[in-house]
A and B are shown apart, each in its own frame.
Chain A
Amino acid sequence: MKITIRNISAILGSCLLLLFVGCNQNGNGSGALGSDIAQRVYVAPGEHDEFYAFVSGGFSGQLSVYGLPSGRLFRVIPVFSVDAEKAYGFNEETKPMLNTSHGFIPWDDAHHPDLSQTNGELDGRWVFINGNNTPRIARISLSTFETEEIIELPNSAGNHSSSFVTENTEYVVAGTRFSVPVPQADIPIDEYKGKFKGAMSFISVDQETGHMDLSFQIMMPGFNYDLAHPGRGKSHGWMFFSTYNTEEANSLLEVNASQNDKDFIAAINWKKAEELIEAGEFDVMPSEYAHNVYDESTHSATSTIKRQVRVLDPSKHPGLVYFLPTPKSPHGCDVDPSGEYIIGSGKLAAALTAHSFTKMLDAIENEKFDGEAYGIPILNYDDVVAGVVQQAGLGPLHTEFDANGNAYTTFFISSEVVKWKLGTWEVLDRQPTYYSVGHLMIPGGNSRKPFGKYVLAMNKITKDRYLPTGPELTQSAQLYDISGDKMELLLDFPTVGEPHYAAGIPADLVKPRQTKIYRLEDNNHPYAVKNERDTRVERNGREVHIYMTTIRSHFAPDNIEGIKVGDKVYFHVTNLEQDYDVPHGISMIGANTSELLIMPGQTETFIWEPKKVGVWPFYCTDFCSALHQEMQGYVRVSPRNSNIQLKWSLDGD
């Protein structure tokens, strides 16, 4: 009898547990379950993440889109590198996006994404990112998640202190890393000192269309300009750049550019620059740079070469630029949400330097100068420093902020994220990273309003962290919960390429803006056909244009004859679908290009130059319906001298 009662209570107990667990389906568990780290990053099937993270691809040239906290990868947006999967840089419509003053370039090194802002807060309109190698800035729409515009930057080289957005998206600011002869000239390299210059570009943004225009450049001394951030709040109107190689070395920089005790943070008063431009106090410099714009209504990009740029020389304009001495080759240059503190991370120093914006204004007003460089006043170090974070770690690189007055800095050499307090400069916490962390990101971290729930640290080296994949290993990102006093490592996930910085935003600011389809009636592509009746094939000498449509699940036309060896055949394909998530693809045997992947209502074009006589098939590359495998067609290719007339049909019509 006793045994039975014990059994009953055991059964009751286990059923009660079942009841508790069984009903707790939304992942917001409390009590013992709440401390389960796996559960805090688990986003159940069909549920959405809380944040978007736009993580740069570094040498992949692209921008990847992850969800946080899950770390799930949703999309890789092609920006500076061709992408055969999406036909970016392969189809006729997007080839102009990769045009430059050096011609078509299929690759770049994409570093620092930054989001558009209004009144210092994220607004979910666009994300900008820099191409380092052949200096360019791209704008990506957060409605279509497509690259809509790329502008090349003349006089710039190694476009690294870029792309940072001012608090009303007035400008995207892009600084050169390398100084070069401006204008370019055939001179001995060792004449670097004094002859090389560093161009800081201010690109204005049209608030309606997002269109970018290189408004002006400030021609700085021949240092290296590493990173930058805009002022905000009280310091709105200023831009801060870190410098190294103030030694102006042109060889063995790892030694020769590490001589000076202090380099500078350059403070540029861009409101003042605007006044000078307005007053006509600029020089016009002949130049050559490409401006590439993708038009959503024609589904096509155009590339225009621009020929001049307005330039300001700071030595001629007192009050435009000041130098703030900052120890040992500062890398990161970060501004806190209030706009008061400018943090310089001297990567060869053990300490972090925080300059005070208020003290800087006071030093300027009272001319507390400590010399000048190329006519630019150097402010006295002790008069601008607000505080120093001592012995925080080794190799400080970048700092982001939460909304509670805390700062988070990455340390490359000691592989850790360190949390410290603005104002008291005391270290509060430290957590290891695996390994060699570079940038870190807090959603909204470059704005007046950070969403300080998570920090994402991006690592350069993963060594033993994942299954090995030969000599080349993945880079990684690590997610920490920063909502409590102590940071907690929640998740670590591999990344696309090498991430150099990321930008994060609450999903609710982006989701309502999504374009789901392109309306056929708004399609102004010159080769679009909007119904099957208008599909046709036209010959113009050796050029043949096929006006084709797709819908589940056939091409119109799907039988084409009268093509000849040596023709240049354009497939202009319009997807007639008007429903969400119904793309069609097309590929042609022997075409020296990628497939097309065509969204509903869109038109795209590829070129096929048939070299052999025969009957050659094409097919749909995106599984579109139960009859996807039936979505195919044939092109008959005849000898050059044949008399076969152009003929096309679908189902005999």
Chain B
Amino acid sequence: MKKLPLTLIFTAVLACCLASCGGGQSKIDEIKAKSFKEPADPMANWESNHGVGPIKAFELPATIDQELVSKGQQVYESMCTACHKVEKRFIGPSPKDILKRRTPAWTMNMILNPEEMVQKDPIAKKLLIEYNGSPMANQNLSEEEARAILEYFRSL
């Protein structure tokens, strides 16, 4: 009879203490995050996955812009070929046919924001493990350069 109210008071004050530190909302977010279940195979949902980063979902025009392709090829060859080869799996995957397995926005976000992608995006997380934990290097490209590389990938 004596013990019960004491415990109650202690719990109440502790909760009050947590709330006053602004821990309440973050605790709820934490619980939410923990209860979220990723699909068994994140690759299965690729068409609705646009990645994490500066690029929002967008539609590509029907025709391929050849000028953009050659600019993209130039950037790709100077900044990406240390790890990616068109004809084979190397340090990372080949970019060939990438738009048959990833969305345009996802691809550009992977180029522009790799650190956050491998932490938060389910496909990128899975790829990191598949490729032996070898991180995708952030080559500090501009959005224009990433877009040009994407156009080059379309031409492969």
Residue numbers of A with Cβ under 8 A of B are 4, 7-8, 11-12, 15, 18-19, 22-23, 517, 520-521, 530-533, 549, 551-554, 556, 576-579, 582, 625-627, 651
Task: Assess whether A19 is in contact with B82, with CB atoms less than 8 Å apart.
Answer: no
Task: Assess whether A7 is in contact with B17, with CB atoms less than 8 Å apart.
Answer: no
Contacts A/B (CB < 8 Å), 25 sampled = A4-B5, A7-B6, A8-B6, A8-B9, A11-B10, A15-B10, A15-B14, A15-B16, A15-B17, A22-B21, A23-B20, A23-B21, A521-B78, A531-B77, A531-B82, A532-B81, A551-B137, A553-B134, A576-B79, A577-B139, A578-B79, A578-B138, A625-B133, A626-B135, A627-B132
Given contacts A19-B20, A626-B135, 4 further A-B contacts (CB under 8 A): A8-B6, A531-B79, A577-B139, A627-B132
**Is B44 in contact with chain A by the CB < 8 A criterion?**
no
Task: Assess whether B17 is in contact with A19, with CB atoms less than 8 Å apart.
Answer: yes
Task: Assess whether B132 is in contact with A22, with CB atoms less than 8 Å apart.
Answer: no
Question: In whole angstroms, how far apart are the Cα atoms of A497 and B22 in the complex?
Answer: 47
Task: Assess whether A533 is in contact with B77, with CB atoms less than 8 Å apart.
Answer: yes
Task: Assess whether A651 is in contact with B90, with CB atoms less than 8 Å apart.
Answer: yes
Task: Assess whether A520 is in contact with B78, with CB atoms less than 8 Å apart.
Answer: yes
**Is B86 in contact with chain A by the CB < 8 A criterion?**
no
Task: Assess whether B140 is in contact with A578, with CB atoms less than 8 Å apart.
Answer: yes
Closest to B114 in A: A579
**Is B13 in contact with chain A by the CB < 8 A criterion?**
yes
Closest to B85 in A: A653
CB distance from B112 to the nearest CB of A (A): 12
CB distance from B133 to the nearest CB of A (A): 4
CB distance from A156 to the nearest CB of B (A): 44
- Contact flag A579-B140 (CB < 8 Å), given A520-B78, A533-B77: yes
One of A8, A15, A551, A625 near B82 (C-beta < 8 A): A551
Closest to B23 in A: A22
CB distance from B130 to the nearest CB of A (A): 14
Q: Which 3 A-B pairs have the closest CB atoms?
A: A626-B133, A551-B82, A579-B138
**Is B68 in contact with chain A by the CB < 8 A criterion?**
no
**Is B156 in contact with chain A by the CB < 8 A criterion?**
no
One of B6, B20, B82 near A11 (C-beta < 8 A): B6
Closest to A582 in B: B137
Task: Assess whether A578 is in contact with B78, with CB atoms less than 8 Å apart.
Answer: no
How large, as a class, is the contact surface on chain B? Answer: 20 to 34
Residue numbers of B with Cβ under 8 A of A are 2, 5-6, 9-10, 13-14, 16-17, 20-21, 77-79, 81-83, 90-91, 132-135, 137-141
CB distance from B101 to the nearest CB of A (A): 24
One of B6, B134, B137 near A577 (C-beta < 8 A): B137
Task: Assess whether B135 is in contact with A625, with CB atoms less than 8 Å apart.
Answer: yes
- Contact flag A576-B6 (CB < 8 Å), given A552-B134, A625-B135: no
Which of A12, A521, A578 is the most central at the interface, judged by chain B CB atoms within 10 Å of its CB?
Answer: A578
Residues of B close to A521: CB separation below 8 A = 78
Closest to B83 in A: A551
One of B5, B17, B77, B82 near A22 (C-beta < 8 A): B17
Task: Assess whether B17 is in contact with A578, with CB atoms less than 8 Å apart.
Answer: no
Task: Assess whether B132 is in contact with A18, with CB atoms less than 8 Å apart.
Answer: no
Task: Assess whether B140 is in contact with A517, with CB atoms less than 8 Å apart.
Answer: yes
Question: In whole angstroms, how far apart are the Cα atoms of A531 and B77 in the complex?
Answer: 7
Residues of A close to B140: CB separation below 8 A = 517, 578-579
Residues of A close to B139: CB separation below 8 A = 577-579
CB distance from A131 to the nearest CB of B (A): 37
Question: In whole angstroms, how far apart are the Cα atoms of A625 and B137 in the complex?
Answer: 10
Residues of B close to A577: CB separation below 8 A = 137, 139
Question: In whole angstroms, how far apart are the Cα atoms of A651 and B85 in the complex?
Answer: 12
Closest to A601 in B: B140
CB distance from B128 to the nearest CB of A (A): 9
Which of B5, B82, B133 is the most central at the interface, judged by chain A CB atoms within 10 Å of its CB?
Answer: B82
Question: In whole angstroms, how far apart are the Cα atoms of A160 and B49 in the complex?
Answer: 65
Residues of B close to A627: CB separation below 8 A = 132-134
Closest to A533 in B: B81
Question: In whole angstroms, how far apart are the Cα atoms of A4 and B132 in the complex?
Answer: 61
Closest to B17 in A: A19
Question: In whole angstroms, how far apart are the Cα atoms of A391 and B36 in the complex?
Answer: 75
Question: In whole angstroms, how far apart are the Cα atoms of A23 and B81 in the complex?
Answer: 50
Closest to A549 in B: B82
Residues of B close to A22: CB separation below 8 A = 17, 21
Task: Assess whether B137 is in contact with A579, with CB atoms less than 8 Å apart.
Answer: yes
Residues of A close to B135: CB separation below 8 A = 552, 625-626
Task: Assess whether B137 is in contact with A552, with CB atoms less than 8 Å apart.
Answer: yes
Task: Assess whether A626 is in contact with B134, with CB atoms less than 8 Å apart.
Answer: yes
Residues of B close to A625: CB separation below 8 A = 133-135
Task: Assess whether A530 is in contact with B78, with CB atoms less than 8 Å apart.
Answer: yes
Closest to B21 in A: A23
Question: In whole angstroms, how far apart are the Cα atoms of A531 and B83 in the complex?
Answer: 10
CB distance from B139 to the nearest CB of A (A): 4
Closest to A7 in B: B6
Residues of A close to B83: CB separation below 8 A = 551
Task: Assess whether B13 is in contact with A12, with CB atoms less than 8 Å apart.
Answer: yes
Residues of A close to B90: CB separation below 8 A = 651
Question: In whole angstroms, how far apart are the Cα atoms of A12 and B9 in the complex?
Answer: 8
Residues of A close to B20: CB separation below 8 A = 19, 23
Task: Assess whether A578 is in contact with B81, with CB atoms less than 8 Å apart.
Answer: no
Task: Assess whether B13 is in contact with A532, with CB atoms less than 8 Å apart.
Answer: no
Question: In whole angstroms, how far apart are the Cα atoms of A520 and B82 in the complex?
Answer: 14
